Amino acid sequence: MKTKILSAVCYFALISALSLQSCYEKPSKKYTKGYFPDSVCNLEIVNSIYDEINMDLRLLRCTNFLTFASNRNTQGGSYDLNSKIFTFIWNQENGKFDAADNLYGQDELYNKMAEATRTDANEYGPTFYRRLIKNEQNNNQFIRYYLFYSDDQKGTLDLRMLTFDEKGTYSENLISELKDKIVDLNFASNQQFNEGYFTLLTEDFSSFLPSGIEAETSIFQLVFCTDETGNYDLYKIDIPQNENLDSFLLQASENGKTPITELNSAQDDRCPSTTSNLMVFSSNRPGGLGGYDFYYSILKDGKWSTPVNFGEPINSPYDEYRARVVKAEEYENDVLIFSSNRPGGNGGYDLYYTGIELMREHK
Model pTM score:
0.88
Low-confidence ranges of the chain (pLDDT < 70): 1-28, 60-62, 103-107, 188-189, 203-217, 362-363
Residues whose CB falls within 8 Å of the CB of residue 93, separated by 6 or more in sequence, listed in order = 15, 16, 29, 30, 31
Distance separating alpha carbons of residues 134 and 142, to the nearest angstrom: 7
40 φψ region: left (φ > 0), alpha (ψ -120 to 50), beta (else): beta
Residue 16 has what pLDDT?
42
Residue 12 has what pLDDT?
30
Residue 204 has what pLDDT?
52
Residue 62 has what pLDDT?
61
Residue 9 has what pLDDT?
32
Residue 83 has what pLDDT?
93
DSSP 283-310: E--TTSSSSSEEEEEEEETTEEPPPEE-
Phi, psi angle pair for 204, to nearest 5°? -90, 10
**Which residue in 216, 67, 218, 74 sits closest to 148, CA to CA?**
67
Residue 120 has what pLDDT?
96
Distance separating alpha carbons of residues 38 and 125, to the nearest angstrom: 26
**Which residue in 248, 259, 230 sits closest to 186, CA to CA?**
248
Residue 296 has what pLDDT?
97
Residue 318 has what pLDDT?
98
Q: Give tens-digit pLDDT for 32-52.
A: 888 999 999 999 999 999 999
Residue 305 has what pLDDT?
96
Here the CATH number for the domain that contains residue 112 is 2.115.10
Tell me the residue range of the domain where 36 lies: 2-361
**Which residue in 309, 317, 308, 310 sits closest to 341, CA to CA?**
317
Residue 105 has what pLDDT?
57
If DSSP states are collapsed to H, E and C, what string results for 198-213?
EEEEECCCCCCCCCCC
How many domains are contained in the chain? 1
